[in-house]
A = this chain, B = another copy of it.
Amino acid sequence: MATKLLSRYPWATSPFVIGAPMRVMSGPALAVAVSRAGGLGFIGPGLKTTDTGVDLEEASSLIDKARASSFKTLSSSSLLPVGVGFQLWSDDLSTAMGTIEKYKPCAVWLFAPKEGQKDLDEWSRRIRAVSPETQIWIQIGSLGEAKSILQSSEKPDVVVVQGTESGGHGRMADGMGIMTLFPEVADTLASSHIPLLAAGGIADGRGVAAALCLGASGVVMGTRFLASSEARISRGYQNEVVRASDGATNTTRTLLYNHLRGTYGWPPEYSPRTIINKSFIEHRAGTPFEELKKRHDEAAKSGDSGWGPDGRLATYAGASIGLIHNVSDAERIVRDVRNDASRRIQGLAAA
């Protein structure tokens, strides 16, 4: 299954490493760098759906440059060798379709529908109408969603299974660690023969190798790429991802930071994992929201010092923060985790 999947992305190398479509932070530079390294980079949803077109335009030009230099393999597909993600509950379907038709990304990643499989089916149908070769990826984080896919007449080409270790928005009440969630979803979807990717809590070669053993055809990393030189992220935020450790006690799933930022409307099934800082600590201690909001907005004016243990700004990140110790080029991250994963598997096989 992993080999068949890779054949769709001819520049890609095994094990298949994917850069998650993190909202705003996964921009064209990061996505192209991941693909250049033989992975597949996704551009995240923008603040507005129209932003995605701007990002894809820039990605196209970066890819043209890469093709002109040494990255010939990126030409071996007629599609754009980066993917793009949409946040279904907030993104505009028509705008998205125009963008997909124009840029023909190799893959579109659908996440967080308001009405579950119904919305996923509609987006999938429309995408296949405007760009039949574009592969449809759907992110799920629960067994219930896997069962809905089985019933669907618009089955995706790839399913991303995200464990609760993940950063950013994921399933709240029906999520679970990837160690049990992935194999149970895999058994449930076995008859569909859809390749599955593992996401959530994977930040180094150990996690990549482990995910492959669980049956994944590839792995998705998000938080690890927050600490890449190409991430579209504030320095203060990035420093905090590198600094923080002990994901179990220093991250939590909470809607607090969404609300402090004025973001409302996420479907109730989701909540984001974030690094804990003063806003959450004071919230837990009972400080009223209005006061927290005032302090938050003040901190937002203070630049990079708004993040960190004494900061107050949203620092969405996964439980893998303790495995990330430096900022690195995305290409190096991809090559390092791939090589380390392969070495580990070879080492265990020889033992």
- Which residues of A does B touch, CB under 8 Å? 2-3, 14, 142-144, 163-165, 171, 173-181, 183-184, 187, 200-204, 206-207, 209-215, 245-249, 318-320, 322-323, 341, 344-346, 348-351
Contact B248 A2 (CB under 8 A): no
Contact A322 B143 (CB under 8 A): yes
Chain B residue nearest in CB terms to A348 = B345
In whole Å, how far is A240's beta carbon from the nearest beta carbon of chain B? 17
Given the interface pairs A142-B248, A345-B348, A348-B212, the reply to whether A165 lies near B177 with Cβ below 8 Å is: yes
In whole Å, how far is A184's beta carbon from the nearest beta carbon of chain B? 4
Residue among B163, B184, B213 making CB contact with A345, cutoff 8 Å = B213
Chain A facing B: main interface SS:
helix
Contact A247 B183 (CB under 8 A): no
Residue among B2, B176, B207 making CB contact with A165, cutoff 8 Å = B176
In whole Å, how far is A216's beta carbon from the nearest beta carbon of chain B? 10
Contact A178 B179 (CB under 8 A): yes
A175-B251 Cα distance, complex, nearest whole Å: 11
Contact A163 B179 (CB under 8 A): yes
A92-B257 Cα distance, complex, nearest whole Å: 47
Q: List 16 A-B contacts (CB under 8 A).
A: A144-B249, A164-B177, A165-B179, A174-B248, A176-B319, A177-B319, A179-B201, A180-B207, A183-B204, A209-B210, A209-B213, A210-B214, A212-B213, A345-B345, A349-B349, A349-B350
Given the interface pairs A143-B249, A176-B319, A213-B345, the reply to whether A207 lies near B181 with Cβ below 8 Å is: no
Q: Which 9 A-B pairs have the closest CB atoms?
A: A177-B177, A349-B349, A176-B248, A209-B213, A210-B210, A179-B201, A184-B322, A210-B213, A180-B201
